[in-house]
Amino acid sequence: MRWTNVLAAVGVLLGGLQPAPVGAQFLQCEVTNEPSQVLLSHEDVVNFLQALGALESASDSASVLQRMYLAKASPGLSEYLRSHEFGAEDFVEAIRDEGDKYRGLRDLPSQLASQEGATRSALASLRREIPDVEFVPVYFFVGIGGAGLNAEPSEYGLLLAITETTSDFSVVKLAIVHETVHVQQALAVGIEEYMQVFGPKMSLLALAIREGTAEFLTSLSTGEYAKKRAYEYVLENEAALWQRFERDMLERLPGEWMFATPSDPEQPTDLGYIMGARIVEAFYDRAADKARAVREILAVTDYEAFLGQSGYAEQFSQP
């Protein structure tokens, strides 16, 4: 993902939120602590596929998409359209350019429905780690561009834009847990402080710990990392990667560590997520009170101090 698209990237930003005082309730949706009560909405996907079918005999594609898809948008799809400034003509162009991808989504409603049990189970596992977790609605819809699945939190719930089918739908539950953790981070520190990581406090280290927290707590809850390939690569090359990361970590922009395609084709994307997760894991492992450690991890605002408290770098010190 390019840095210019970071505001729409997975787990980067609570899209469209305006800064509010710490402790303010910024969510514009109902929340629940009960995994079985979380809204998992697929209606937008159904509407899109009906519109796609109607395009075969329509002379005005934009009108069909507007009437059958965009005009019926859920709160989640509405926020996605607003924040990305997408309209019917943008979807017409996307379908014209990548029609096979969109036609390949015909089984998506049943595929998403088949993952509902696994998703609710993963959310229940997250609640064991964060007992006071606040779950928000989850909206699935068909989007434009991206890498197949683009997930982001917003004040209206979690937005999951899908543009291509996949053979591994376990990524859905992992994306939902990851983004739910970001919501808890914003609730823990307040939206104004949360947004500082994209302003005065922005650095590779801050972004890595922000995303690493979501990765680590996803793994702690489900036993899986969303960034599986990056995780395996980091474990195999951790000492050398730490030397590079330590050199770069106070740079304001993340370079090739996150949200970008590395120049080395052998290197997975988003290694910064996992470097951050390893720092968070070190902090968690060192803590005697694990429940308190989770609360402290969610509320991190001093990223250099947190790195020192984690003791992560000590393992790479020369004897």
Q: What is the mean pLDDT of each run of 10 residues along the chain (319 residues)?
A: 28 35 67 97 97 89 97 98 96 94 94 95 98 97 89 95 86 95 96 92 97 98 94 97 97 93 92 98 98 98 98 87
Which residues does 160 contact at the CB level (< 8 Å), separation at least 6? 138, 139, 140, 141, 149, 150, 151, 172, 175, 176
- Let me know whether 144 and 224 are in one domain: no
Three-state DSSP state, 119: helix
- Let me know whether 139 and 233 are in one domain: no
- Let me know whether 86 and 18 are in one domain: yes
CA proximity to 95, closest of 163, 35, 46: 163
- Let me know whether 170 and 265 are in one domain: no
- Let me know whether 54 and 162 are in one domain: yes
- Let me know whether 134 and 22 are in one domain: yes
**Does any domain span residue 196?**
no
**Residue labelled with tokens 């596929």:** 49
pLDDT at residue 16, as a whole number = 35
Q: Are strands 138-142 and 149-154 parallel, antiparallel or unpaired?
A: unpaired
| Rounded Cα distance, 194 and 12, in Å | 11
- Let me know whether 142 and 222 are in one domain: no
| Rounded Cα distance, 55 and 42, in Å | 21
| Rounded Cα distance, 272 and 192, in Å | 24
Which residues does 10 contact at the CB level (< 8 Å), separation at least 6? 1, 150, 151, 152, 175, 178, 179
Residue numbers of the domain that contains 240: 201-316
CA proximity to 174, closest of 210, 106, 220: 220
pLDDT at residue 283, as a whole number = 98
CB atoms within 10 A of CB 262: 14
Number of compact structural domains in the chain: 2
- Let me know whether 53 and 107 are in one domain: yes
CA proximity to 140, closest of 150, 131, 130, 132: 150
Which residues does 260 contact at the CB level (< 8 Å), separation at least 6? 1, 2, 3, 254, 269
Integer-rounded Cα Rg, in Å, for the chain is 20
| Rounded Cα distance, 279 and 304, in Å | 11
pLDDT at residue 319, as a whole number = 62
